[in-house]
Amino acid sequence: MKKAVLFLEDGTCFHGTSLNTHGESAGEVVFNTALSGYQEVLTDPSYAGQVVVMTYPLIGNYGINDEDMESDKVHVKGFVVKEFCRYHSNFRAKESLIDYLDRNKIIGIEGVDTRALTRHLRLSGAMKGIISTDDFDPKSLKAKLAQVPSMDGADWVKEVAPAKPYVWKADGAKKYKVVVVDCGIKRNILREMAKRGIECHVVPPTTSAADILSMGADGLFLSSGPGDPSAVTYVIATVRELIGKLPIFGICLGNQMIGLALGGKTYKLKFGHHGINHPVKDLETGRISITSQNHGFCVDMNSLNTNDVEAIHINLNDKSVEGLRHKKYPLFSIQYHPEASPGPNDAKYVFGKFIEMMEKGKK
C-alpha cells in the first residue's frame, strides 16, 4: 500500500493509503449512507464523474459477484472508505472488492475518517476533490482541481449512454412494448420491467421523437443517469414533443428531465441524496416507502404550473419533491430508484402504475 491524500477544493485534506492502483483521479465528492450495496454503487452510471465516500466503516465483507452488476463497468472516479475488508465471505463471491477495484484501475483510499469527512460535506456541501498517491502539495492539487469541470451544467449522459439500440426481452410472454431512453440505466430496472412482461427497446438518448413514435410502443420510459439534468437539452426537447402522445414514466434523472420538459426548473441539492434509507411519502395514498436514492439535483415545484402538474411524492427528510404527475396527460415520474429493494419491496408498486397507464392507453 502507498500513502494517498484526498484533497477538497476548499483546501481540506484527508490522508490515508491507496490500493495497488496509483496516480490521481478527481471528481465531485459525495457520500453514500448505505451499509451494503457497494457493488451496485460502483457500477451505477449515475455516479459518473463522482468520488464516492462510504459512511459505513467496513466495506467489502461479501466480495464481488456477477449477478449484482448494474452496468458493464465501474463508473465512480474514486472510492473512499474507512477500511477495506481483506477477508470476504459469501457463496456468490467471485473475487474480493480490493481485487475488483485494482482490476478496474479505480483509485481507492482507506484509513480516512469518513465520519468527519461526511460531516464536512454535510456542512459545506458536495464539492470537487482529488485523490492522489503522487502529489501531496496543496497548491499543486488546488491548481489541478481548478481544471476539473463543475457538476453544474455538466452533461455526463453522453459519457454513459449506449452507442446503439438493444432489446431487453420480457420474462415469458411479452405483454407490453416500451421504449426506454437510456441516459445511464441500471440493469435492475430492466429486470423489474421484464418480470412484468415488458419488452424494453432501449435506445440512445439522442433518439428523436419521430423515431420513438415509429416504434409503435405502448409506453415510454426515461431512465436514471448522471450529471446536471438541465444540460441534457436534447432529451428534454424530445420529451416535450412526446407529452400526450405516449404514456410516459421517468425515474431520477428522468423525473428531472420531465420537470424541465413541462416548463419547470431544477436546482442543485447541498449534498444530494445518496443512500438506501430515504423515506418517501406517496401523497395520493399516504403510503411511506423506504427508498434508494442517488441524485444531486431536484425539481423546483414552485417553477411548475400547478394547474397542469402536481407533486405526488415527497421526501420526508427535507420535503423535496419526489414525484410528479400531469393532470391531463398519461405522465408521471419519481425521483427515487424503485427497483433497488432497500425496503425490500416498498416502492415496486410504481411499475404497476406504469402498466395501468399503458392499459388505459390501449383502451
Complete DSSP assignment for 295-315:
EEEEEEGGGS-TTTEEEEEEE
- CA 40/CA 55 separation, integer angstroms: 15
Task: Single out the residue in 146, 169, 187 at which a domain terminates.
Answer: 146
Query: Are residue 121 and residue 164 in the same domain, yes or no?
Result: no
CATH code of residue 243? 3.40.50.880
pLDDT of residue 341: 81
Half-sphere exposure of 34 (CA within 13 A, CB side): 25
Task: Single out the residue in 93, 116, 146 at which a domain terminates.
Answer: 146
Query: Are residue 126 and residue 68 in the same domain, yes or no?
Result: yes
Query: In residues, how long is the chain?
Result: 363
Q: Does the residue 152 lie in any domain?
A: no
Question: What is the band of 162 on the pLDDT scale with cuts at 50, 70, 90?
Answer: very high
Query: Are residue 169 and residue 137 in the same domain, yes or no?
Result: no
Q: Residues 280-293: pLDDT tens digits? A: 999 999 999 999 99
Query: Are residue 166 and residue 55 in the same domain, yes or no?
Result: no
| Among the listed residues 102, 89, 20, 34, the one whose alpha carbon sits nearest the alpha carbon of residue 60 | 89
Beta strands at 248-251 and 58-59: parallel, antiparallel or unpaired:
unpaired
The domain in which residue 329 lies consists of 157-362
- Residues with Cβ < 8 Å from 137, sequence gap 6 or more? none
Query: Are residue 113 and residue 198 in the same domain, yes or no?
Result: no
Q: Does the residue 85 lie in any domain?
A: yes
Is the model's pLDDT at 92 over the cut of 80? yes
Q: Does the residue 346 lie in any domain?
A: yes
**Residue positions annotated with a catalytic role:** 252, 337, 339
Query: Are residue 201 and residue 262 in the same domain, yes or no?
Result: yes
Give the CA distances from residue 191 to residues 68, 83, 205, in Å, rounded to whole numbers and listed in that order. 11, 32, 20
Give the CA distances from residue 325 to residues 222, 230, 284, 301, in Å, rounded to whole numbers and listed in that order. 14, 19, 11, 12
Q: Does the residue 89 lie in any domain?
A: yes
Q: Does the residue 102 lie in any domain?
A: yes
pLDDT of residue 363: 77
Query: Are residue 104 and residue 176 in the same domain, yes or no?
Result: no
Beta strands at 108-110 and 78-80: parallel, antiparallel or unpaired:
parallel
pTM of the model: 0.95
CATH code of residue 116? 3.50.30.20
Q: Does the residue 357 lie in any domain?
A: yes
Output 363 or 307, whichever has higher pLDDT: 307
Query: Are residue 180 and residue 306 in the same domain, yes or no?
Result: yes
Is the model's pLDDT at 342 over the cut of 90? no
Average pLDDT value for residue range 225-239: 97
Query: Are residue 184 and residue 280 in the same domain, yes or no?
Result: yes
Number of domains within the chain: 2
Task: Single out the residue in 117, 146, 175 at which a domain terminates.
Answer: 146
Q: Does the residue 151 lie in any domain?
A: no
pLDDT of residue 174: 96
Is the model's pLDDT at 344 over the cut of 90? no
Query: Are residue 187 and residue 225 in the same domain, yes or no?
Result: yes
Average pLDDT value for residue range 348-354: 95
Query: Are residue 41 and residue 72 in the same domain, yes or no?
Result: yes
- Residues with Cβ < 8 Å from 354, sequence gap 6 or more? 219, 221, 247, 249, 332
Query: Are residue 166 and residue 315 in the same domain, yes or no?
Result: yes
pLDDT of residue 1: 77
Q: Does the residue 182 lie in any domain?
A: yes
